[in-house]
């Protein structure tokens, strides 16, 4: 972690030396994010099973498939949620939408500036869309983000499917989703941990003109444009420029944390 932190620090130093984005780079003329509505955001800790199939040292003659060793560990998770953004546009336009979540307070409970918080903003979704002239309703589903992946099959599960394919003389195809998306996070980590009373975070939704010098889509089917990763929070922030950008919307949201038993009762 210290090594990674040092590399990230070098990168941040480089970014801090670049000029802040000006209004022309931040604005999307004729486009305004009118409002953003969010479902109740809830996190919880559930027990996650870890298959130890390929961790155990088996004795000579022992068949690993005849044994099943499983460990349990608490894992942060969240309830599904949707975000709806109302966007007004005075023209038809190709756009790219980015959704971030970041801290509002520091460890001492003091509200922090956008300049300080920006390096902790995490992009939880990005997608391209075609805006029509007038009002547009953009719905973001937490389970459809291409920046996160659901739990992947265990070694035992893959081995079982491979054995079944051999017995039935059928092909077995390995899901290459992970290898084609080198920069992804587990689906359960879309939201940061909440609190019983509701921990406040900042949700940011930005809409910008879609710019892509390479029209062909990347093989992992995620929308890319010519802007750098983390845009528009990857450089030093000038509050005045962001405040005047009507295509960038900031909203305080609360993330609640509950026991898994409470979650199960509600779902029943």
Of 149, 46, 134, 19, nearest to 87 by C-alpha is 134
CATH of the domain at 82: 2.60.40.1520
Residue 232: asked if its preceding bond is cis (omega within 30°), the reply is yes
The total domain count for the chain is 1
Which tens digit of pLDDT belongs to each residue from 232-264? 999 999 988 998 999 999 999 999 999 988 877
> How is residue 60 written in tokens?
């000579």
Beta-bridge mates of residue 88: 32, 135
> How is residue 19 written in tokens?
């000029």
Percent of residues, the chain, with pLDDT higher than 70:
89
Of 6, 25, 7, nearest to 233 by C-alpha is 25
Which tens digit of pLDDT belongs to each residue from 165-199? 888 888 877 665 555 555 678 889 999 999 999 99
CA distance 64 to 50: 16
Domain containing residue 183: 2-267
Which tens digit of pLDDT belongs to each residue from 198-221? 999 999 999 999 987 555 555 555
Whether 89 contacts 133, CB under 8 Å: yes
Q: Please, what sign has the CA dihedral across residues 104, 110, 115, 121?
A: negative
| Residue 268 scores a pLDDT above 70 | no
CA distance 103 to 108: 12
pLDDT at site 214: 59
Percent of residues, the chain, with pLDDT higher than 90:
60
Which tens digit of pLDDT belongs to each residue from 113-135? 999 999 999 999 999 999 999 99
CA distance 104 to 42: 17
């Amino acid at each position: 972690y210290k090594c990674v932190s040092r590399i990230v620090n070098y990168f941040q130093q480089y970014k801090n030396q670049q000029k802040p984005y000006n209004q022309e780079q931040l604005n999307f003329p004729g486009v305004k994010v009118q409002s953003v509505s969010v479902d109740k955001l809830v996190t919880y800790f559930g027990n996650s099973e870890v298959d130890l199939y390929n961790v155990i040292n088996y004795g000579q003659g022992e068949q690993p498939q005849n044994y099943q060793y499983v460990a349990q560990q608490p894992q942060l998770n969240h309830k599904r949620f949707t975000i709806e953004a109302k966007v007004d546009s005075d023209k038809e336009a190709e756009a790219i939408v980015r959704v971030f979540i970041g801290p509002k307070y520091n460890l001492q409970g003091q509200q922090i500036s956008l300049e300080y918080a920006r390096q902790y903003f995490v992009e939880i979704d990005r997608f391209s869309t075609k805006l029509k002239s007038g009002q547009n309703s953009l719905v973001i589903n937490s389970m459809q983000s291409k920046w996160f992946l659901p739990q992947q099959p265990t070694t035992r599960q893959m081995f079982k499917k491979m054995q079944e394919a051999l017995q039935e003389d059928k092909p077995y195809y390995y899901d290459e989703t992970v290898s084609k998306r080198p920069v992804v996070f587990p689906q359960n980590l879309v939201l940061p941990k909440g609190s019983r009373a509701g921990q406040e975070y900042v949700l940011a939704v930005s809409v910008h003109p879609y710019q892509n010098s390479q029209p062909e889509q990347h093989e992992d089917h995620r929308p890319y444009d010519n802007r750098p990763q983390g845009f528009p929070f990857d450089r030093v922030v000038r509050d005045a420029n962001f405040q005047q950008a009507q295509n960038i919307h900031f909203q305080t949201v609360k993330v609640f944390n509950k026991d898994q038993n409470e979650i199960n009762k509600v779902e029943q």
